[in-house]
Structure 1
Amino acid sequence: MEGFNNSAKRILNILNKLQNATSSDSAFIAWSRALDTIEQIPKNDPHELQRRLGLLKNELDLLEASMSSTEFSKSLYLPYIERIKTTVSITNLDSPWTNYVGQLGSDVMLCIMFCSEILPSDPNVKFDELNELLNKIKSFREEISSNNLPHFTNQFVNSQIDIIESAILDFPIKGGIAVKQAFTAGFSDLSDKADSLAKDEVITVTSKVGSYWKDLKKAGDEFVATDRMVNAFVNLAEKGQSLANSIISYLPPGTNS
């Protein structure tokens, strides 16, 4: 998982993409390309970009905390992390990228590169398999959009694939924790919707959602292999039966009422 297995490597990937920004780009365009949102957000709608910039700010905080636990002096890395933060904390995304690019010189890149070698590696996640799953979900989304699914099935399926898709798209910034958190969100979503879903569940459709959770666990590899929530959720999905009935029978009475 070269390039994604610690916070510094993920940040370095993003900084490298920013090197492709041109003098005519706005901060909005430069960051949208670097954070892979250029095709996913409506023009002039900054909300998704701001969300991802928030994730990047969290990663910079994580990098700072991780480096503080090493034997290296803060003076060797903290000023450079702070310079990156000034480019992330943008209040005017329409401003020229040239206003910020001076903060990301070769000295900053070199510092983050050293941090990426110093910090230990996260447990493995299979990035190629995440991308394969993302393509499956995109095709599935198109398929169900042309079907007249019952209301509660449609609502549930779309919320579930939104959770999986968001985890995959956030992985290059957050790493494996994005995958792990998706299972918690997916389990909670199923628990909340189970009673409604039971009224009109189309099992042939929801079972496909279950298969995507199995695929996500497989792609999550070492990062999620021993997680109890992940395994509990996937065990429900592997039954190939009604997801609504499976979760209702799994939870204590009154949990999702």
Structure 2
Amino acid sequence: MNEFANPAKRLSRLIEIVVHKQDSTSSAAVWADAFGLDAAKAQTDPHEVIAKLMILRNEIDLVEKLMSSTSFSKGLYEPHLQRVRSTVSLTNISATWNNHKSQLPADTRLALRYCAEILPAEPEISMEELQGVLDSVHRLRGEIEQSEITQAVREFLLSQLAIIEKAIHDYPIRGGIAIKSAFKDGLADCAAHAETVSAEGNKANISRVGRIWSDFKSAGKELVEADRVASSLVGLTEKGHALLNLFN
């Protein structure tokens, strides 16, 4: 089973990372490192860490909800999930890690691993493919920022790239739902910029982000393979279909 297979597996992976951090490190830095954020920056400006912790708390709730639908007694997992919740603190983020680390003993981490084995696995997505999409996002963003396209088109393209980038960064926490939600957000963003996207002269530039959406859909495999929203978004951006007729 891959390390992002279900919410318990993803939660267990993160807990195994943070439990080995030094006691004297700030909690903000510990979580920033686990999330792939700038640990030094997090100590003075922890808003990105807090945003990720809020997502992680939702995942803890999801594990509890999914486990409650199994035949296993709540006493086997609920106390351990509560311990994990206490480490995912939004109010004491500047405290040193030793204030939270004690809530992650071996039996709690073992309970998480059991939950990970019990809950069904989501379709596997290649992190290598997602990284390839992310690299394309970074390259295109750099080209857009140096280009002479109109401000309206620039804002739309950068907005679309930000949606893809956020989904890839959230995938290790949220799993497949992060990928599926990105296509819904991307289509809504198209609707908000309908006139810009529909203009005939903008199609060539917009199709460039469409190709990245297409690669992103391919990376998502069966999660979005038959998803009508994903297919619609790829068609709208890659092939330049007229949006005004769809959203009016």
Cα distance in 1 for partners of 2:206, 2:196 equals 14
Structure holding more helix per residue:
2
TM-score by length of 1: 0.90
Identity, % of aligned positions:
38
Cα distance in 2 for partners of 1:229, 1:40 equals 39
Cα distance in 1 for partners of 2:200, 2:165 equals 24
After TM superposition, give the deviation of residue 195 of structure 1 in Å: 1.2
After TM superposition, give the deviation of residue 168 of structure 1 in Å: 0.3
Aligned: 1:38 with 2:38:
yes
The runs of at least 4 consecutive aligned structure 1 residues that moved more than 4 Å come to: 39-43, 197-201
Pick one of 233, 247, 251 that aligns with 2:243.
Answer: 247
TM-score by length of 2: 0.93
1:41–1:48 CA contact under 8 A, matched in 2: no
Residue 86 of structure 1: aligned partner: 86
Residue 77 of structure 2: aligned partner: 77
Residue 12 of structure 2: aligned partner: 12
Aligned: 1:171 with 2:171:
yes
Residue 182 of structure 1: aligned partner: 182
1:152–1:197 CA contact under 8 A, matched in 2: no
Cα distance in 1 for partners of 2:38, 2:200 equals 37
Amino acid at match of 1:69: S
When residues 247 and 199 of structure 1 are mapped into structure 2, their CA distance, relative to the original with a 3 A threshold, is closer
SS in structure 1 opposite 2:243?
Answer: helix
Residue 159 of structure 1: aligned partner: 159
Cα distance in 1 for partners of 2:199, 2:217 equals 28
SS in structure 2 opposite 1:100?
Answer: helix
Cα distance in 2 for partners of 1:234, 1:146 equals 25
1:152–1:199 CA contact under 8 A, matched in 2: no
Q: Which 5+ residue runs of structure 1 have no aligned equivalent?
A: none
Aligned: 1:95 with 2:91:
no
Q: Which 5+ residue runs of structure 2 have no aligned equivalent?
A: none
Q: Deviations over 1:81-102 (max 9, x none)?
A: 0000011133121110110000
After TM superposition, give the deviation of residue 40 of structure 1 in Å: 10
Amino acid at match of 1:204: A
Cα distance in 1 for partners of 2:110, 2:135 equals 35
After TM superposition, give the deviation of residue 199 of structure 1 in Å: 5.4
2:206–2:237 CA contact under 8 A, matched in 1: no
Q: Deviations over 1:42-94 (max 9, x none)?
A: 66222211111011001000000011011100000000000000111331211
When residues 117 and 179 of structure 1 are mapped into structure 2, their CA distance, relative to the original with a 3 A threshold, is same
Is 147-156 or 42-51 further displaced after alignment? 42-51
